[in-house]
Structure 1
Amino acid sequence: MMRRTDISTDTEVGANVHHLVMDIAWFGVALPATARFLAVYAIRLDASAMLVGLLTALPAMVALLASLVARWYRRQFPDAARAAYWSGFGFRFLFLLPALTPIFPAQWQTLWLLAAVSLPAFAQGLSNIMFLVMMREAVGKSHLTTVVSRRSVLFNLAFGISTLACGLWLSNIRFPANYTSMYVLAFGASLISLWHVGQIRVLNPEPLPPADQPVVRAWRAPGFPHVIFVATMTHVAFFCLAPIVTLLLVEDLGAGEGFISVFALVELLAAALMSVFTSRIVTRIGSRWTAAIGMVGCGISGILIALSPSAVLTLPGAALSGACWTMAAIAQFAFFSENTPSEAVTRYTTFYNQLTQLAIFIGPLVGSQLAGVFDLATVMLIGSGLRLVVGTLIPVDIFSPPRRARRPHRVRRPAVGG
């Protein structure tokens, strides 16, 4: 017979899962305003390729710096849920600040866009860490991969539908009122997401370590150096082409906001479909092989986009990119979780977040620098090659110490008695 405490716990876990899923759904409604159309907005304002790259890179560096104080920040709150809520509140100004762009002189508008996404990035860096910790404490480690997959499904569906709606809005309303109103509406959707975050309750709190506890050196933990490699290189390889894809579509292939929304919708529908199956794939073949296959697919998708003679023909590459990056992202996070001890989850999560933010900073800068030397299609091919190399190295134990050859066992001859 099931105990009342078991029923209560199951009900609370179910409520947390509901709010985690609804949080990401509303956040998915808001996010296209910045994730898909901020770079297009900057291009419309005559931003350079370097500045377009900095729109992704600089916030990642600010978030990395914020992660250095994550341990102190966590101690200011009774649990990770409260810490995630208030950092998430600051993060959501990412959607409101770009709406102020038209009030600045024309020569300052692109720089304001850069500031508008960089200033909230400090809160974003804290929010990323606190949210990952809160998820583990709210649903338990055993449910984490399933919850991440469900969140990914709903996020991609919401993100895709919202992207299409934003594209239609931007195509039919006069510039710049179209962008200003879009960011105001996105801010409203992000506040609904934040409300759901506020309803989440911690069920399995991680005990805070003593302030004088020695620092855990994650890179020395058995198996964790390969986690570092996978987390860093998958993000560098993927995000080095993030600004290049938008530049290629808009500048080389003449795509407008309407097509950008279709491109994103195809990408995200494929990602949502893959989200349904990724947890099963991880269970069947393991997280490392799943991440490897995903990165190889990302490489192939980049090649398809680079070689497309028209915008319409990039859509198969968009679908493959969305599906394969979703597979790789879920799998590499599962690989991280498998190698994270429960007694040091905050510190390991902080370190993991620092790695990914550093990679997201480096990747777009690499792509932008290459764009100053080669044409955009060539840069796409170079980045795709990097993705293929990373994918082939993920399953290889490159950080395992070489096995020493075993000396053959010498059989002693029995002594002859006399």
Structure 2
Amino acid sequence: MQAIAPTPAQRALFRNLYWDVFWFGVLQGSAMAFLSVYAARLGASAFQIGLLTSGPAVVNLLASLPAGRWLEGRAMTTVSFQTAVLHRLGYLLLVPLPWLMPEAAQAWALPVLIGLMSLPGTVLAIAFNAMFADVVAPEWRAHVVGRRNALLAVSSTAASLSCGWLLDQLTFPLNYQVVFGLGALGAGLSTYYLYRVRAPGTLSPRVGRALLDFALPGGLPRIGDALRQGLGLRFLTRGGARPLLRPDLLRGPFGRVMVAYLTFYTFQYTSIPLMPLFWVNELRLSDGEISIGNALFYGAMLVASLGLRRLSARLGHHRVLVLGAAFFGGYPLLNALAQDATLYYVASILGGVVWGLAGGGLVNRLMERVPDDDRPAHMALHNLALNLGILAGSLLGPALSHGTDLRTALFVAAALRLVAALLLGRWG
């Protein structure tokens, strides 16, 4: 509990941030959650679905460091709003897509559109992370982030369940057009509340701690248990005169940390392009069943994240990270073992719990290994490792599926995640 009540200006700011994330949750639980499933129902290949994540990763690799430099000294509230408008217009363009081209062409148009959206999305992700740290005082961040994460879980869950019901009631592709329309509505209202966020007269002091905010405006479509975080993106705007990209850091202990993180991200995303195809073509899940899995994942993740601080205080950040990573292969493993929705639901619960621990553990452990006086360069290397991992994993998964069937490929992906856990235990 806070010892001092927030000022009227702070209360207004917090309300706007709460409404922003509530409507972002509607977007996340609708268009972002079902985009890859729509691609699978169009007949897209694993490679085409992989492009939904690998394309934005390439854009981020090329644009994130220049974007961080460009953002230095700019008004983050203004840039966040402007880039949110540009990025989220793409969700509106999804609605008429079935009227404009045949299904085979849509399977290619989707990754192209997502790739184009990711350019302003990359700037938005960095600017929002920096803006949040600027406008919310350090003593209120845990309070605001906790409420934002709870609202995100509630709105994402409600949106996912509602969209699953709608998708089962309406005919294809009208059902997905309605869902994309709901996503565009959520995106528009979230952007409106971003517009209402005003920077205080004096910006908050920079304390260099992880925000642990689950929402990532400008992020990737959510597929399976892949939830990308905006870890330390604000540090890309704080390089000053020093170079952001410093390969010399890789020659020390931090180099081994980055190898472990790169391996983790690569093997995390190996199974991601395969999941929608497995659900649709092998398990024959309905959209309603997929939505229940999404809801179980969000709920389990929230519950697990609530106990993260206590568990970290008891075990330490490294042990929590290794504990979460050790069970990270359970999600693709249980999916591979499934014959119907039952084990898929169990996998969703386990995946949410594990990501609630592993996601927070990745953040906290990384901040523990990075020196306070040199965070921009270290976080720039982490951002490169993250996007290289997403790119490599999104290409490795489809390659595995070409050499074998989807079920076997998921078993292999589960084993690879265990390898990543071992590396995190040794070098993380």
Deviations 1:281-304 (A, max 9, x none): 223222222222112222123222
The residue aligned with 1:122 is 119
Residues in 2 aligned to 1:313 and 1:241: alpha-carbon distance in whole angstroms: 17
1:312 to 325, 332, 342: 342
- In structure 2, relative to structure 1, the CA distance for the partners of 1:231 and 1:181 (3 Å cut) is same
* Cα deviation digits, residues 364-391 of structure 1 (max 9, x gap): 2111110111111111111111222222
Partner residue, 1:284: 314
Deviation at 1:82, TM superposition (A): 2.9
- Match of 2:204? 204
Shift of 1:122: 0.8
Q: State how far apart, in whole Å, the 2-side matches of 1:338 and 1:142 are.
A: 20
Single out whichever of 261-270 and 26-35 deviates more from structure 2. Answer: 26-35
* Distance in 2, Cα, partners of 1:240 & 1:146: 35
Q: Which moved more, 1:130-139 or 1:301-310?
A: 130-139
The equivalent position to 2:99 in structure 1, one of 103, 125, 137, is 103
Determine helix, strand or coil for the equivalent of 1:192.
helix
Partner of 2:246: 217
Matches within 5 A, 1:89-168: 89-106=85-102, 107-139=104-136, 148-168=145-165
CA positional deviation for 1:322: 1.3
Contact 1:267 1:318 in 2 (8 A): yes
Question: Measured at CA, do residues 153 and 227 of structure 1 come closer, stay the same or move farther in structure 2, by a change above 3 Å?
Answer: farther
Q: Is the 8 A contact 1:59 1:118 kept in 2?
A: yes
Q: 1:9 to 1:122 in 2, by over 3 A?
A: same
| Deviation for aligned residue 1:67 | 0.5
2:29 touches 2:155 (CA, 8 Å); kept in 1?
no
The amino acid that maps onto 1:152 is N
**Counterpart residue number, 1:381:** 411
How far is 1:156 from its partner? Answer: 2.4
**Structure 2: any 5+ residue segments left out of the alignment?**
207-234
Q: Could you say if the C-alpha distance between residues 298 and 139 of structure 1 is closer, same or farther in structure 2, counting changes exceeding 3 Å? A: same
TM-aligned CA deviation for residue 144 of structure 1: 5.3
Offset from partner CA, 1:153-182 (integer Å, 9 cap, x none): 332222121111111111112222222222
User: 2:29·2:156 contact (CA, 8 Å) conserved in 1?
Assistant: yes
**Contact kept in structure 1, 2:328 and 2:351, CA below 8 Å:** yes
Could you tell which deviates more after superposition, 21-30 or 120-129? Answer: 21-30
Q: Distance in 2 between matches of 1:59 and 1:385?
A: 26
Report if aligned partners of 1:90, 1:120 keep a CA contact under 8 Å in 2.
Answer: yes
CA distance in 2, matches of 1:151, 1:349: 24
Provide the aligned C-alpha RMSD in A. Answer: 3.0
Aligned residue in 2 for 1:406? none
Aligned to 2:286: 256
Give the corresponding residue for 1:38. 35
Moved more, 379-388 or 137-146: 137-146
Normalization by structure 2: what TM-score?
0.81
The within-5 A match list for 1:62-77 is 62-75=59-72, 77=74
Asked whether the equivalents of residues 70 and 126 of structure 1 are also in contact (C-alpha less than 8 Å), the reply is: yes
The structure-2 alpha-carbon separation of the partners of 1:181 and 1:314, relative to structure 1 and needing over 3 Å to count, comes to closer
The answer to whether the 8 Å contact 1:64/1:125 transfers is no
Q: Which runs of 5+ in 1 are unaligned?
A: 399-418
Deviation larger for 145-154 or 164-173: 145-154
Q: Write the letter of the residue equivalent to 2:347.
A: G
Q: Structure 1 pair 111/272, CA: closer, same or farther in 2 (3 Å)?
A: same
Aligned amino acid, residue 389 of structure 1: V
TM-superposed deviation, 1:24: 2.3
**8 A contact 1:218–1:224 mirrored in 2:** no
Q: How many residues align?
A: 393
Q: Which one is further off, 346-355 or 359-368?
A: 346-355
Superposition pairs for residues 74-85 of structure 1, below 5 Å? Answer: 74-75=71-72, 77-78=74-75, 80-85=76-81
- Residue 238 of structure 2 contacts residue 376 of structure 2 at CA under 8 Å; is this kept in 1? no
Partner of 1:88: 84
2:363 to 327, 333, 344: 333
Letter in 2 for 1:201: A
Which residue number corresponds to residue 190 of structure 2?
Answer: 193
Letter in 2 for 1:86: Q
Who is 2:394 aligned against?
Answer: 364
**Shift of residue 321, structure 1, vs aligned partner:** 0.7
1:247 aligns with 2:277: yes
